[in-house]
């Protein structure tokens, strides 16, 4: 199934705005949902570029989400919990999360995920960007931790690996 709808967590939003790559989101996805808990987390710090820009983009759709009991048991943050709860109830949406615990929870419950690095690979596969290497470096420079192994895997998935 093609990835065209996402429910997105704070970390991907923040690093995409900080790295100047948030404009890829509406080019990649037909629908971008942001649970209210995530919206509040992103916009809490008024000095942050993501906090300043998120309220002004036309593609971001905020919604209220109730945390599913199966997700609540994992004791994740409010943002991750609402993103995964929505994706659990709406399987045609991909949960865009980077947090390792949230990704483990998603795997255990059969929730399809996409990380920020994976979105960059998707952008390359869809012909929206030329190369993932520089784009991944921008994410890292903006605070997203990616191991060398993950960077190599992402480059390989984009057809740029060895």
Helix (H, G, I), strand (E, B) or coil at 58: coil
Question: Cα Rg for the chain, rounded, in angstroms?
Answer: 15
- Tens of pLDDT, residue by residue over 86-96, are 999 999 999 99
Alpha helices for the chain (secondary structure H):
10-18, 24-28, 36-43, 49-53, 69-72, 78-89, 100-109, 116-125, 133-141, 148-157
User: What pLDDT score was predicted for residue 162?
Assistant: 61
Mean of pLDDT over the chain: 94
In angstroms, the CA 143 to CA 161 distance is 23
Contact assessment for residue 24 and residue 123, using Cβ atoms and an 8 Å cutoff:
yes
Least confident of 40-54, 92-106, 112-126: 40-54
User: What pLDDT score was predicted for residue 98?
Assistant: 95
71, burial (CB in 10 Å: exposed 0-12, middle 13-18, buried 19+): buried
Question: Was domain 5-157 assigned CATH 1.10.150.120?
Answer: no
Helix (H, G, I), strand (E, B) or coil at 129: coil
- Tens of pLDDT, residue by residue over 109-151, are 999 999 999 999 999 999 999 999 999 999 999 999 999 999 9
């Amino acid at each position: 199934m093609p990835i065209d709808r996402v429910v997105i967590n704070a970390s991907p939003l923040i690093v995409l705005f900080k790295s100047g790559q948030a404009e890829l989101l509406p080019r990649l996805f037909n629908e971008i949902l942001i649970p209210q808990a995530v919206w509040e987390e992103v916009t809490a710090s008024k000095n942050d570029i993501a906090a300043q820009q998120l309220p002004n983009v036309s593609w971001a759709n905020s919604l209220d989400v109730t945390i599913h009991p199966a997700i609540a048991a994992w004791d994740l943050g409010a943002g991750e919990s609402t993103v995964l709860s929505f994706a659990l109830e709406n399987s045609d949406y991909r949960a865009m999360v980077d947090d390792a615990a949230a990704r483990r929870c998603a795997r255990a419950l059969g929730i399809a995920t996409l990380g920020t690095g994976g979105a960059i690979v998707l952008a390359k596969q869809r012909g929206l960007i030329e190369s993932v290497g520089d784009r991944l470096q921008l994410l890292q420079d903006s605070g997203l931790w990616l191991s060398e192994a993950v960077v190599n895997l992402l480059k390989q998935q984009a057809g740029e690996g060895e």
